[in-house]
Chains A and B, each alone.
Chain A
């Protein structure tokens, strides 16, 4: 089971790859849309990469609920 720190670091590297996000900007309080400029289609790519990396299922109807990095970290932690 990955720790919150490991999940956050994993998400950061996915975000860097998919949406050119600076790794240092990936903190729990950051909003994907407003702070990191990750649009709805990039969120799908992030979700697909996270599914593969963490062995978790993130359906499209969950995506709107994952507003911040912290939301995604806790979703992955409780569903992996």
Chain B
């Protein structure tokens, strides 16, 4: 026998965005005052960060997700009761269970949606976006709330000046729903599990660690072709992009990949300068802030490129809401 399927949707797009950054600004000088052996000039010139935000001690991944998610719902003009699925991308929950998504949905007044978390490290938002899109396309959900929320301030190794200076806390959110035009291009995703141990929260110390040179080599040599392939599959020339939003890992990686797109006139997200690296949250955070500042017009194509722990990556062109 054959089973019935849900009525499919023609296309999907991002209907609205939101973001949240904790109010607690941590400058490079603040890190030095806490005993980190580093200096402001070095961090600015070598990593590109002048400040990052840290959550308050009692401020959780779900708290930040709630703030970003409620703004995305408002921006999309979608009522909580019209969300059928909630996906949270995070790798910094305080414990493996419970997931953040059901609690987030409950806080936002979304009644009994499907709800689960995605952990793909820094590429998690783009993965979640595509699961959301697939759910809408196949008729499994009318609208999906996707939130990336990360709280790295609880996982920092202050004796490792290569990592504790980079990471921050933030959340970014998007509502995905039906559309008349294709607003989420084909995703190019993949992974290199041979390098599983290069970006991790250490099992013993419970602190973040990273093999900077290995990740730098991988990102600067492998990610530009992935980004270009996402443009090709979406039928968009890189020069026609309104913006390029790579994961905000390190300004030197961002500049290196951007240079290889061969489209110098395209605006490149540099949100890392004042937000640091917030893993899965960097892409929706940067996108939401750029849209809010009027840097990206509604309906314009934007290239997203997530990459990191796994090692896993995902790139796709989306239309700005």
Alpha-carbon separation in the docked complex, A43 to B217 (Å): 10
For B216, what are the chain A residues with a Cβ–Cβ distance below 8 Å? 41, 44
Alpha-carbon separation in the docked complex, A44 to B217 (Å): 6
Determine if B213 and A60 form an interchain contact, defined as CB atoms under 8 angstroms apart.
yes
Contact among B46, B214, B221 with A48 in the assembled complex (CB-CB below 8 Å)? B221
Distance to closest chain A CB from B49 (angstroms):
14
Determine if B220 and A63 form an interchain contact, defined as CB atoms under 8 angstroms apart.
no
For A43, what are the chain B residues with a Cβ–Cβ distance below 8 Å? 213
Q: Does B211 contact A (CB under 8 A)?
A: yes
- Cβ proximity bits A47-58 to B, threshold 8 Å, 1 near / 0 not: 110000000000
Identify whether the interface residues of B are mostly helix, strand, loop, or mixed.
Answer: helix
Q: Does B235 contact A (CB under 8 A)?
A: no
Contact of A48 with B213 at beta-carbon distance under 8 Å, contacts A41-B46, A41-B252 already known: no
Q: Does A45 contact B (CB under 8 A)?
A: yes
For B214, what are the chain A residues with a Cβ–Cβ distance below 8 Å? 60
For A45, what are the chain B residues with a Cβ–Cβ distance below 8 Å? 220
For A44, what are the chain B residues with a Cβ–Cβ distance below 8 Å? 213, 216-217, 220
Alpha-carbon separation in the docked complex, A1 to B23 (Å): 59
Q: Does A40 contact B (CB under 8 A)?
A: yes
Alpha-carbon separation in the docked complex, A5 to B261 (Å): 35
Alpha-carbon separation in the docked complex, A39 to B217 (Å): 14
- Cβ proximity bits A38-78 to B, threshold 8 Å, 1 near / 0 not: 01110111011000000000001001000000000000000
Distance to closest chain A CB from B298 (angstroms):
37
Determine if B213 and A40 form an interchain contact, defined as CB atoms under 8 angstroms apart.
yes
Alpha-carbon separation in the docked complex, A40 to B213 (Å): 7
- Which residues, 61 to 105 on B, are CB-close (under 8 Å) to A? none
Q: Of all chain B residues, which has the CB nearest A43?
A: B213
For A60, what are the chain B residues with a Cβ–Cβ distance below 8 Å? 211, 213-214, 217
Enumerate 8 A-B pairs (CB-CB under 8 Å) in ascending A order.
A39-B46, A40-B212, A41-B216, A41-B250, A43-B213, A44-B217, A60-B211, A60-B214
Please provide the 8 A-B residue pairs with the shortest distance between their CB atoms, ordered closest to farther: A60-B213, A44-B213, A44-B216, A41-B216, A44-B217, A60-B214, A40-B213, A39-B46
